[in-house]
Structure 1
Amino acid sequence: MAFDQDMMAELTLLAKFPRTSMHQGIKIHSSAEQNLRDAAQRLFDKGIIDSPDGGYLTDLGLDLISHLDQVHCALQ
């Protein structure tokens, strides 16, 4: 199993979401790097975020960042 650059961009974007409140999201501006905008679109298409330009995490997204936090902590 390997992480390609698209997956890494998606993981990096997921890591940017706030953990303190489910009522906080992020906004990907049109001036952001193309790979970040593409990652947001893919996460939206997968049902992980609720808007193609960021927005809020879905229930699936909340589960994923919990696992992402665990992986990050274990590898630190």
Structure 2
Amino acid sequence: MSFTPELIAELEVLALFNLDSSQEGIKVHATAAPDIIAAAKRLHEKQLTDQPDGGYLTSLGHDAVESVQQLLTILKTPQPA
């Protein structure tokens, strides 16, 4: 499995969510980059969000964002030489 541009865009959208508050969603505006708009729609189709333009995370979406945040933390942490 490889990281396609579409998958990377979906990961970027997921990374926008704040897990500190379940009352906080996102809104992908019509003026956003086309790849981000399409990614938000795909995440909705995959039942990770409740709206095609972002909205709130579903339970599955919450799990996905946790994984994305963990991966980003691991990859951004400097490794000992």
Q: TM-score range by the shorter chain?
A: over 0.9
Q: Deviations over 1:3-61 (max 9, x none)?
A: 10000000000000112101100011111111111000000000001000110010000
Match of 1:64 in 2: 64
In the other structure, the counterpart of 1:21 is: 21
Stretches of structure 1 that go unaligned for 5 or more consecutive residues are none
CA positional deviation for 1:70: 1.3
**Quick check: which has more Rg, 1 or 2?**
2
What CA distance in whole angstroms lies between the structure 1 residues aligned with 2:30 and 2:70?
31
Secondary structure at 2:40's aligned position in 1? helix
Please list every run of at least 4 consecutive aligned residues from structure 1 whose deviation after the TM superposition is greater than 3 angstroms.
Answer: none
AA at the equivalent of 2:32: A
1:6 — aligned with what? 6
Count of aligned pairs:
76
2:51 match: 51
Give SS of 1:47's match. Answer: coil
TM value normalised by structure 2: 0.89
One-letter amino acid matched to 1:52 = P
Aligned partner of 1:41: which letter? K
1:40 alignment counterpart: 40
Identity %: 42
